[in-house]
Copies of this chain bind each other. A is one copy, B any other.
Amino acid sequence: MGNELLEGMNKRMNNTEVKDLSRHAGEEVTVSGWVETVRVHGKVAFVVVRDGTGLLQCVLVRKAVGEEIWELGTTGLTQESTVAVTGVVKPDERAPGGNELGVTGLTLLSAAEEYPIQPKEHGVEFLMDHRHLWLRSSMQRATLRVRSEIMQAVTDFFYNDGFTRVDTPILTGSIGESAGELFSTDYFGETAYLAQTGQLYVEAGCPAFRKVYCFGPTFRAEKSKTRRHLTEFWMVEPEVAFADSDDNMRLQERFVTYLVERALERCGEELKVLERDTGLLEGIATPFPRMSYTEAVEVLTAEGQEIEWGRDLGATDETILAGLHERPVLIYNYPKEAKAFYMKENPDDPRTVLCNDMLAPEGYGEIIGGSQREDDLTRLLERIREENLPEEAYAWYLDLRRYGSFVHSGFGLGIERMVAWITGRPHLREVIPFPRLMNRLSP
Does the CB pair A164–B188 fall under 8 Å? no
Residue of B nearest to A183 (CB): B185
Digitize A244-267: 1 where CB-to-B-CB distance is under 8 Å, 0 elsewhere. Answer: 101100000000000000000000
Return the chain B residue nearest A400 by Cβ: B132
A377 on interface, CB distance cutoff 8 Å? yes
Q: Which 9 A-B pairs have the closest CB atoms?
A: A52-B210, A396-B443, A110-B405, A132-B204, A80-B404, A148-B165, A82-B404, A10-B244, A112-B403
Asked whether A433 and B201 contact (CB < 8 A) given A13-B247, A208-B135, A217-B217, the answer is yes
Q: Which residues of B are found within 8 Å of A144, using beta-carbon distances?
A: 164, 166, 208-209
Give the nearest-CB partner of A192 in chain B.
B441
Residue from the list B207, B241, B399, B407 in contact with A10, Cβ < 8 A: B407
Identify the stretch in A57-65, A170-178, A301-309, A362-370 within 8 Å (CB) of chain B at 4 or more residues.
A170-178
**Size bin of chain A's contact surface:** 35 or more
Whether the pair B110, A404 counts as a contact (CB closer than 8 A) is yes
Interface residues of A in 131-175 (CB under 8 A from B): 132-133, 135-136, 140-141, 144-145, 147-148, 151-152, 155, 159, 162, 164-174
B407 touching A9 by the CB < 8 A rule? yes
Interface residues of A in 358-404 (CB under 8 A from B): 375-378, 393, 396-397, 399-404
A296 proximal to B (CB < 8 A): no
Jot down 8 A-B pairs with beta carbons below 8 A, ordered by A: A9-B242, A10-B244, A13-B247, A110-B404, A133-B403, A151-B155, A170-B232, A171-B219
- Is A432 among interface residues, defined by CB-CB distance under 8 A? yes
Q: How far is the CA of A249 from the CA of B234 in the complex (A)?
A: 31
What is the 8 Å Cβ interface bit string for chain A, positions 185-226, against chain B (1 contact, 0 not)?
111101010100000010011111111000011010101000
- Residues of B within 8 Å of A124, CB to CB, are none
Max chain B Cβ within 10 angstroms of own Cβ: one of A159, A219, A397: A159
Instruction: State which of B13, B135, B173 has its C-beta within 8 Å of the C-beta of A441.
Output: B173
CB of A17 closer than 8 Å to a CB of B = yes
